[in-house]
Chain A
Amino acid sequence: MTTTPMVKAEGVHKSFGTAHILKGIDLEVAPREVFCLIGPSGSGKSTFLRCINHLEKISAGRLSVDGELVGYRQKGDKLYELRDNEVALKRRDIGMVFQRFNLFPHMTAIENVMEAPVQVKGESKAVARARAEKLLDRVGLADKAKNYPSQLSGGQQQRVAIARALAMEPKLMLFDEPTSALDPELVGDVLDVMRGLAEDGMTMIVVTHEMGFAREVGDALVFMDDGVVVESGHPRDVLTNPQQDRTKSFLSKVL
């Protein structure tokens, strides 16, 4: 079976000034796959995630989403940089959830979820509201629709943020340490929502420190360190029987 991979990275490099963050990343994410990225902080996991929707520009290599290059258009053997509005058009299909939620604080929960469909897709408010209500219900927050983010707990805010990303009906969801800023007892609610998404067949790339979630829900797992992929495979195999010393020492500290 040969399907177009949802995300394909070939020799992706990223530098900030003299700091070389990504040193040649090669990986493939299949459609409907839950792909987990683990590794110590500073290993480049989040940077790589941000490259996928072009919040960061890659320095070298090729990165494509659903068969199309990220940030460039290829004509013959020349690459043309995409304009801002073309980049924005591609980002519509990629949802992103941030470690620090980044909800819009001046809008209520439901307004947060309605914002992008109305402003970006030009959807009518009635249609957007109906979908937003359904999504808030799905993340278990139907009764919090009229609350402002400051009136919600961290776990509730993160679930609103997931609903906000889903409102654009993306084909790919990026999660950047979605539970790292949460109190331990609030983590479960957010992971439950993500598990539900995985069961519905959403393609997800998850940067996480939740090894339990990775083992249970993940279809593939990559361990990154110092800007390179150290080890990859099925989460069960990598987490229970790591082959590399670096992986072993990392897992011995977090498990």
Chain B
Amino acid sequence: MTDIKKTGSTGTPPTPAAGPAAITAIPVRHYGRYVSAVIAIGLLASIVYAFSQGQINWGAVPDYFFDDRILRGVGQTLLLTVLSMAIGIVGGVLLAVMRLSKNPVTASIAWSYIWFFRGTPVLVQLFVWFNLGLVFEYINLGPVYKDEWSSFMTPLLTALLGLGLNEAAYMAEICRAGLLSVDEGQTEASHALGMSHSKTLRRVVIPQAMRVIVPPTGNEVINMLKTTSLVAAVQFTELFRYAQDIGQNSGAPVEMYFLAAAWYLIMTSILSVGQYYLERHYARGSSRSLPQTPIQKIRANLLSLGRPSGGMA
């Protein structure tokens, strides 16, 4: 084990002292690869050229990049993402447990919920929440709260319910898959030690399920961040809506779409990095050695540059 590591990191050619001479042969030429690379680069260059020659005023993008409204929009988008995901995760865990429960009533309620919310488009759901005032004129929670539906259902609440309840259906399936992925022997071993159902779930099953749950949940967060742009349709103002507004007032609508796209890309990139570290955390014990983090890789490379002949002791 250690021998392999040493030769790998010192950079010396791996020719053993007394071994047979290394094979010298003419490598296979992959001409197809050169051709396809040239075609791909050519296509890419022509697309970039087309955009640079189009009727797009690129100067408008940096002008508005840190505009107050854009920054406020970014804030609203993040807020909406966090709150909707919170609703989605809590609801999803609840639904997953309900679906896996031995009680047929709760199991079928959870099944129906998932069936409905996963089976209809989220934009349609948003409009339904927005227009539910046609069905319920008033909201009346007895002595606690009473108001007209239209003033109760603010754009924020509409957006949260629409996105959050939809997300719960997807998270439920992710959590269920995670819980089912844990070997039954784990539950048995835990029970045999005298641990209760809830302790078994909390200490043994969920930590292992997280390995399966975290990666798709990261995808869901990234997806949610982008999906929040839909709520512009129900009068909630976030990044996309602000960019649209600025575009219409400043006469640079397409430029503002590019600006919004750049902001979304920045935010999703940051989230991807976070997801990577979270996955690493839950991979404990699953593989013999954890992969290096990007920072560790950079540090290792720098170290080996500084001491080209030194080993990685």
A-B complex is real: yes
Given the known inter-chain contacts A102-B185, A104-B189, please indicate yes or no for A151 contacting B194, CB distance below 8 A: no
Given the known inter-chain contacts A98-B185, A98-B189, A100-B185, please indicate yes or no for A116 contacting B286, CB distance below 8 A: no
Given the known inter-chain contacts A102-B188, A104-B204, please indicate yes or no for A116 contacting B284, CB distance below 8 A: no
Q: How far is the CA of A108 from the CA of B190 in the complex (A)?
A: 15
In the assembled complex, how far is the CB of residue B13 from the closest CB belonging to chain A, in whole angstroms? 32
- B208 partner, pick from A91, A105, A116, A165, beta carbons under 8 A: A105
Chain B residues near A106: list those with CB within 8 A: 207-208, 284-286
Chain A residues near B12: list those with CB within 8 A: none
Q: Is the CB of A119 within 8 A of B195?
A: yes
Whether a CB of chain A sits under 8 angstroms from the CB of B307 is: no
Which residues of chain A from 157 to 198 have a CB within 8 Å of any chain B CB?
161, 164-165, 168
Chain A residues near B284: list those with CB within 8 A: 106, 148
Q: Is the CB of A85 within 8 A of B196?
A: yes
- A107 partner, pick from B194, B196, B285, B287, beta carbons under 8 A: B285
Whether a CB of chain A sits under 8 angstroms from the CB of B191 is: yes
Can you name the residue of chain A whose Cβ is closest to the Cβ of B192? A96
Whether a CB of chain A sits under 8 angstroms from the CB of B203 is: yes
Q: Is the CB of B203 within 8 A of A115?
A: yes
- B285 partner, pick from A84, A89, A98, A105, beta carbons under 8 A: A105
Q: How far is the CA of A251 from the CA of B183 in the complex (A)?
A: 34
Complex interface bits, B174-190 against A, C-beta within 8 A gives 1, otherwise 0 = 00000000010110111
In the assembled complex, how far is the CB of residue A216 from the closest CB belonging to chain B, in whole angstroms? 27
Whether a CB of chain A sits under 8 angstroms from the CB of B197 is: yes
- B193 partner, pick from A89, A150, A164, beta carbons under 8 A: A164
Whether a CB of chain A sits under 8 angstroms from the CB of B299 is: no
Interface residues on A, range: 20 to 34
Complex interface bits, A89-128 against B, C-beta within 8 A gives 1, otherwise 0 = 1011011101010111111100000011001100000000
Chain B residues near A150: list those with CB within 8 A: 285-288
Q: How far is the CA of A104 from the CA of B192 in the complex (A)?
A: 13
Q: Is the CB of A88 within 8 A of B188?
A: no
Can you name the residue of chain B whose Cβ is closest to the Cβ of A111? B285
In the assembled complex, how far is the CB of residue B291 from the closest CB belonging to chain A, in whole angstroms? 15
Given the known inter-chain contacts A115-B203, A119-B199, please indicate yes or no for A148 contacting B194, CB distance below 8 A: no
Chain B residues near A115: list those with CB within 8 A: 193, 203
Given the known inter-chain contacts A102-B186, A115-B203, please indicate yes or no for A165 contacting B285, CB distance below 8 A: no
Chain B residues near A104: list those with CB within 8 A: 186, 189-190, 204, 208
In the assembled complex, how far is the CB of residue B103 from the closest CB belonging to chain A, in whole angstroms? 15
Interface centre among A102, A149, A161, A168 (most CB of B within 10 A): A102
Show 25 residue pairs from A and B whose CB-CB distance is below 8 angstroms, ordered by the A residue. Answer: A53-B192, A55-B191, A55-B192, A88-B195, A88-B196, A91-B193, A91-B194, A92-B194, A94-B192, A96-B189, A102-B185, A104-B204, A105-B208, A106-B286, A107-B285, A116-B193, A116-B194, A119-B195, A120-B194, A120-B195, A120-B199, A148-B284, A149-B285, A150-B287, A165-B193
